[in-house]
Amino acid sequence: MSDMIEFTRPDGAMAPGYFIKPAGIDNAPGIVMLEEWWGLNDQIKETADRLASAGFRVLVPDLYRGRVAATGDEANHLAQGLDFKDAATQDARGAAMYLARNGAKVGVMGFCMGGALTLLCAMHVPEFAAASVWYGFPPEEAGDPGAITIPVQGHWALHDEFFSIARVDAIESAMKAAGKTPEFHRYDAKHAFYNPGGIGNHHEESAELAWERTLAFFHRTLR
């Protein structure tokens, strides 16, 4: 079952999102999925559907409020206009609270821009029990990754032209120095290797391996 719904943010405002759950299962673990810079497009909805078919209730906040980019310039414009702190601590947190109403554990995952937001959520949103980051991270001033207390998995492209693998190494080192054990995976691929459309960097072998690892991670941490 899938539908566009509205949920309540911590500040009391209403926010839209794409919600899907496994047929006949009301108490499955929840995952808040955060979109790429393109917005809540068909590819993101299909990815949410795929998560639901694996046994999770999924809510994708519509961060752009109905707007979807068709070109890189449009996506860049929309992303630059997004308040990332608000998206993480209000939209994503509200979505987590919606999914947690039945007492289920809730994870967060996101791609590109959504990956950066996922790390922000791991640092600043207490409702999440686990986070899977796909090739995206916030600026250093956004918070200390060493302060993260939940399990974190990361899927990073060695040849990412937008998110430096050196910064990934630094994030991993900061977490390990704080006694954490992040599960970071690096792939011989380019940015956005999961998306079959996007900027044309799809790498099927890496995408499917990362997907299998993500499902195993959430089955382990949310059940």
User: What structural domains and CATH numbers belong to the chain?
Assistant: 2-222 (3.40.50.1820)
Given a cut of 90, whether residue 1 has pLDDT beyond it is no
Mean pLDDT, residues 167-189 taken together: 98
Given a cut of 80, whether residue 2 has pLDDT beyond it is no
Query: Mean of the per-residue pLDDT values for the chain?
Result: 97
Q: How confident is the model at residue 195 (pLDDT cuts 50, 70, 90)?
A: very high
CA distance to 36, 112, 114, 171, 197, per residue, from 75 (Å)? 9, 12, 13, 26, 14
Place of tokens 């997004």: 82
Which residues make Cβ contacts (< 8 Å) with residue 106, sequence separation at least 6?
29, 30, 31, 32, 96, 99, 100, 127, 128, 129, 222
Of the candidate ranges 2-6, 79-83, 201-205, 211-215, the one whose mean pLDDT is the lowest: 2-6
In angstroms, the CA 43 to CA 40 distance is 8
